[in-house]
Each structure stands twice: as C-alpha cells, then as structure tokens.
Amino acid sequence: MKQIRSYKKSDEDQVNALAVEAFEQFQDLYNDWDTIKAAVGKMSALDKTSEIIVAEDSRKLVGAVAFVPPGVSSKGYFDPSWPSIRMLVVSKNQRGKGIGRELTDACIQRAKTLGCKCIALHTSSIMEVALSMYLRMGFVKVKDIEPIFGVEYSVYKLQID
C-alpha cells in the first residue's frame, strides 16, 4: 500500500539511488553526466535545508521530492519569498501511477500551511512527463535560466489560492 510520508535518515541510500535511476534516462543529454550523477546521487543532502517527502510502497521508496521553504532557494532562480520544489523523482517502473502528482501536491500543501501565495520550481523540456504534469496543474513559465550542463531550464510558478 502506497503512502506519502516525511523522509527518515534510514531512507538515505534509497533516495539517492532513486534519484540517479530517475535521471539516468537523460544522461546522454547533459554534457557532463558524471557531475550530474554525483549531484543527484546526493539528493538526501537536501534534508539539511529542505523537507524531503517520499512515496513508499511495500516498504520500498518509489518516489521523492524536496520542499524548499521560503528564503532557502539557491542560485537566485526564485524570489526569496517563494517556496520551491526540487528534484521530483519517481522510479521508472512506477511512473504513470500519479506518484509525481501526489508528491507535488504534498509540496503545495506545505506551502499553503506556511501561508505562501505561490510555489516555484525549475525544470527542463527534456523532462517531458514532469513538465506536462506541472503545466496541467497550473504552473506557468516565469523565465528561462542558464542551461545546466548543456540542458535548457526554465522557472515555473504556481499561484496558490
């Protein structure tokens, strides 16, 4: 039975492996896959500044995301008052089951709880499934940002009622 829950330190290895698995499909599109792999392979380190949320099914992690509270977002991509979503990852064999949507909704709910009026993220058109989900959810493109290791990225924002 699937559940969405907060990250525990014991999830560290599974979260890191899941992140690498999720990004592997893009390895030929980045101009430095080794650096990207090393970075995403440390997804669990986001728990120092963010709240990692996981999707678990039969004691196995099948998805994860980081909710970044306002004032913590890095690299100047976002207004400092905006919370953001980082590294939404879903296991390859679990895609199409709504896990990404549930994890994104969990981030939106945390933003609402904090009284935030919006939530942001950055993603790329190479991440077709995620991008189309974000657009269906009402995220709107705010701006293009510098490519990340040769891959074009843009910032998207969702107004929260």
For residue 64, the domain's CATH number is 3.40.630.30
Domain count, the chain: 1
> pLDDT class for 127, splitting at 50, 70, 90?
very high
Of 21, 25, 20, 22, nearest to 37 by C-alpha is 20
Q: Residues near 41 by Cβ (< 8 Å), separated by ≥ 6?
A: 16, 17, 19, 20
Q: What global pTM score does this model have?
A: 0.94
CB-based contact 140:119 (threshold 8 Å): no
Q: What is the pLDDT of residue 2?
A: 82
Long-range contacts of 68-75 (CB under 8 A, 24+ apart): 69/110, 69/114, 70/114, 70/116, 73/120
**Domain span including residue 47:** 2-159
Give tens-digit pLDDT for 40-98. 999 999 999 999 999 999 889 999 999 999 988 766 788 989 999 999 999 999 988 99
